Structure 1
Amino acid sequence: MDRPTPTAEILDYIFPIIKESKIKVIIASGSHRKPNECELKVIFGNYYEFFKDKIIFHDAKDERSLKYLGKTKRGTEIFMNKIIFDFDKILVIGSIEPHYFAGFTGGRKAFLPGVSGYKTIEMNHKLALEDGALPLKLRGNPVHEDMEDAINFIDRKNVISFQVIYVPEKGIVDTSCGDIIDSFYTLIPVAEKIFSYKLKEKADILITKATPPLSRTLYQSHKAIENCVQGLKKGGIIILIAECEEGIGGKVFFEHIRSKTPDEVLEEVKSNFKLGFQKSGRFARVLKEYEVFVVSEIEGSLFGKSGIRVYKNVKDAVDDALKIKGSNSKIVYVPHGTEVVIL
């Protein structure tokens, strides 16, 4: 429920076409939990009653539901939910926006991680620690290229992909329908224009704000840092404004932040990678190259040995940043850091 695919709105257009077909709906949640009934009602809107008995929840850890298909060029073992091979046609609904290590959401992500096994997702997400795994980047991005390679294990002729670009304040601003790969790439130039901003000069101090629902935890609002850090000079200070009313979030992420230095996190991530380590590993790299201030209600002691400074208000954070970087520092403010990528 953290990504704004307007499924109910899309169904307004396609429901008359598909309602007479033999339909099952698979929730392509990857390794995430299945949505609850309240969330399903938001997803399906007025169509929930029609679809509620037709819903299948993908469980990445249910090995009995998976089929082994082979290995990608990077060696990722591809296990996918067998049910996708039981139907003549697969209709994929997705939205395209920046993703902090896969380049963009949408398209191929419906299959990997969407309906893939836990081991497959883990092997793919380990690539997030390699160079090139950046928001907006596709060519040379090992995560994206591995996901795209996984599509070769299904018959693309049987897949119809309906992709949209959705902006919360404006609604659906563009659409593309057709081949799972082509419909994705058709929208990328539009998404790049909408979701990115190139600075003339990198900042000494960059202030960014995480917006709901991603502002609930540091685990989620960390996306604002990933999206904006490319606009910061090396050794610069990034100030994240995030309520984090639910705390740090993410069990592994929390333990890494609380009990380890960035160097210790990176050592564990490299020697014993587990799914979820990509988040704390990438954050540890940021902490080694930049100073991170967080304006939040989170208790400062929870940040342990991470080196993160915690403030209760923005003024104090900015005052301290200026003392460190100097009064003539270039400051950039990004009010929607979880929605736009700064270059």
Structure 2
Amino acid sequence: MNSQRLALKYGRKAIQARLTRGHKPKTLLPPPREAGDNGPAIIRNALANPIESPRLSDIVTAGDKVVVVASDCTRMTASDVFLPLLVDDLNRAGIPDRDIAIVIALGIHRSQTEEEHRSLLGDALYTRIRPVDHDARDSGNLVFYGTTSRGTEVAVNRIVAEADKVVLTGAVSPHYFAGFGGGRKSVMPGVCSLKANLQSHLLVFNPSPQRGRNPAVRVARLAGNPVHEDMLEAARMVSPHFMLNTIVGTDKNILAAFAGNPIAAHEAACKHYLENFAVAVTVRADLTIVSCGGYPKDVNFIQAHKAIHTAYSVTKPGGWMIVLAACSDGFGYPGFLEWFQFDTAAEFEESLRANYEIYGQTAYATFEKATSVNIVLVSELEPAHVQQMNMRTAATFEEAYHLATKNLPVDFETYVIPDGASTLFLTTDEYTASFESITGERESEAREIS
């Protein structure tokens, strides 16, 4: 092939990548994401046209205590745009600010700073309503609802449990084991107990005495995915009254919004995402080169894992991946590297089942990938730490490219993914299965890259 030059984001700069071997590389890009109308107009239209539900203003009644559940700062939802509009809707329906609580669905994330609270609500709304962070470890402020069919003991934030009306908000984006974010995740893990969170997350594994990852637990998969179905069962116990979810672009603009019945509206949002923002590829590549999209998407390794998962989905077993992820803030969690002390996935799984941690699950997923494909990581991490994760390390792209290509046949196929953290690529079979898991129907036409 003739050489090809590409500029790929890495941290706060761009790396010049020169590709000289194999077949001509295919650059995998998402479909154009046109915002169309402005964000507030998209939100107003969604609220005015709810899916399988009355309008919010027809659900609430003067005197109701209303709780709005909102995501924390780790999720890009555009809540500073939609929360003021949602509260305005409630005000017009006779619900004053004093009867509205905004609970931040932290799951087991850290508490938010005052600045983060302000950014989530917007300056004007923050001066009127002060949000409350959910605390999954505060047993005195949790109300037990019951146990799911899979054994998860559902205890929920007391403010949410004692509300007359509950409104869920958030954003829909791919999630590597829950299928998609948004919807029921505002309840589980968002406002549930630590114990419930851990029990639900353990459903990534096959039930005992079987071992290994449950094959139905995967990105963009809903029906049949036990993690999704357990979260949905928990949300049904709480029986939220209304939902508003956005789909947000890489520049934080609102691309679409879905409101109404918490189950039907969420499924509609997931279907819309799959149809409009996912791309199917017909074959897996021998070599996949992926950038996270630069800072802050590659600020730490845990954030970079999203791009690694995207590239892994379209790379042949035993193939090669070159990952550009600066990781200027290290791993993103103090104990993350300590999980890489096992020689086999079975040993890793046994330890994780016995002492589950959320980021231990990310470490396990990383271990699975690094032992089934060859990953070369270009980063600021210590080389010894990269090797401990069963990956190869390279100081430059050129070094990584040489290392990968010398182990591939002459006619190898290459994919280049410039923004792996913000894009969903699936094989054609996976795309079809994902569509069926959302709609129960076969999709008619996938966006394909041959």
**What does residue range 173-192 of structure 1 map to in structure 2 within 5 Å?**
173-192=255-274
Deviation at 1:319, TM superposition (A): 1.5
2:253 matches 1:171: yes
2:223 matches 1:139: yes
CA deviations over 1:151-203 (Å, ceiling 9, x no partner): 221234xx211111111337212111111111101111211134321112110
Shift in CA distance, 276/51, structure 1 to aligned 2, threshold 3 Å: farther
Structure 1 contact 135–227 (Cα < 8 Å) conserved: no
Structure 2 contact 339–360 (Cα < 8 Å) conserved: no
Deviates more, 1:192-201 or 1:179-188: 192-201
CA distance, structure 2, for counterparts of residue 123 and residue 270 of structure 1: 10
Structure 2 contact 183–266 (Cα < 8 Å) conserved: yes
CA distance, structure 2, for counterparts of residue 85 and residue 184 of structure 1: 21
2:87 matches 1:9: no
Match in the other structure for 2:322: 239
**2:369 alignment partner, SS class:** helix
CA distance, structure 2, for counterparts of residue 267 and residue 85 of structure 1: 35
CA distance, structure 1, for counterparts of residue 370 and residue 128 of structure 2: 45
Structure 1 contact 287–306 (Cα < 8 Å) conserved: yes
CA distance, structure 1, for counterparts of residue 167 and residue 350 of structure 2: 42
Letter in 2 for 1:121: N
2:112 matches 1:35: yes
Match in the other structure for 1:95: 171
Letter in 1 for 2:231: M
Deviation at 1:328, TM superposition (A): 1.9
**1:31 alignment partner, SS class:** coil
Letter in 1 for 2:120: I
Match in the other structure for 2:139: 63
Match in the other structure for 2:232: 148
CA distance, structure 2, for counterparts of residue 78 and residue 275 of structure 1: 18
Letter in 2 for 1:75: G
Deviation at 1:13, TM superposition (A): 2.8
**1:325 alignment partner, SS class:** coil
2:121 matches 1:44: yes
Letter in 2 for 1:209: S
**What does residue range 262-273 of structure 1 map to in structure 2 within 5 Å?**
262-263=344-345, 264-273=347-356
**1:131 alignment partner, SS class:** coil
Match in the other structure for 2:242: 160
CA distance, structure 2, for counterparts of residue 336 and residue 128 of structure 1: 26
Letter in 1 for 2:181: T
**1:252 alignment partner, SS class:** coil
**What does residue range 289-308 of structure 1 map to in structure 2 within 5 Å?**
289-308=372-391
- Kindly report the root-mean-square deviation, in angstroms, between the aligned alpha carbons of the 2 structures: 1.8
CA distance, structure 1, for counterparts of residue 407 and residue 273 of structure 2: 36
Structure 2 contact 290–308 (Cα < 8 Å) conserved: yes
CA deviations over 1:105-131 (Å, ceiling 9, x no partner): 000000000000000000111112422
**What does residue range 65-84 of structure 1 map to in structure 2 within 5 Å?**
65-84=141-160
2:393 matches 1:310: yes
Choose between structure 1 and 2 for higher RCO, CA contacts under 8 A separated by at least 6 residues.
Answer: 2
CA distance, structure 2, for counterparts of residue 194 and residue 262 of structure 1: 39
**1:244 alignment partner, SS class:** coil
Letter in 2 for 1:205: L
CA distance, structure 1, for counterparts of residue 417 and residue 259 of structure 2: 32
Shift in CA distance, 133/320, structure 1 to aligned 2, threshold 3 Å: same
**What does residue range 248-259 of structure 1 map to in structure 2 within 5 Å?**
248-257=331-340, 259=341
2:191 matches 1:108: no
Structure 1 contact 98–339 (Cα < 8 Å) conserved: no
Shift in CA distance, 56/272, structure 1 to aligned 2, threshold 3 Å: closer
Shift in CA distance, 274/14, structure 1 to aligned 2, threshold 3 Å: closer
**1:285 alignment partner, SS class:** helix
Structure 1 contact 260–305 (Cα < 8 Å) conserved: no
Shift in CA distance, 49/152, structure 1 to aligned 2, threshold 3 Å: closer
**What does residue range 191-340 of structure 1 map to in structure 2 within 5 Å?**
191-211=273-293, 212-257=295-340, 259-263=341-345, 264-340=347-423
Percentage of matched positions with identical amino acids: 28
Letter in 2 for 1:182: A
Shift in CA distance, 213/170, structure 1 to aligned 2, threshold 3 Å: closer
TM-score by length of 2: 0.72
CA distance, structure 1, for counterparts of residue 74 and residue 357 of structure 2: 22
Structure 2 contact 243–262 (Cα < 8 Å) conserved: yes
CA distance, structure 2, for counterparts of residue 64 and residue 237 of structure 1: 50
CA distance, structure 2, for counterparts of residue 193 and residue 295 of structure 1: 33
Match in the other structure for 1:117: 193
Deviation at 1:15, TM superposition (A): 3.4
CA distance, structure 2, for counterparts of residue 242 and residue 262 of structure 1: 25
**1:221 alignment partner, SS class:** helix
Letter in 1 for 2:238: I
In structure 2, runs of 5+ residues without a counterpart are: 1-72, 206-213, 427-450
Deviation at 1:16, TM superposition (A): 2.3
Count residues in correspondence: 339
Shift in CA distance, 305/141, structure 1 to aligned 2, threshold 3 Å: same
Structure 1 contact 206–232 (Cα < 8 Å) conserved: yes
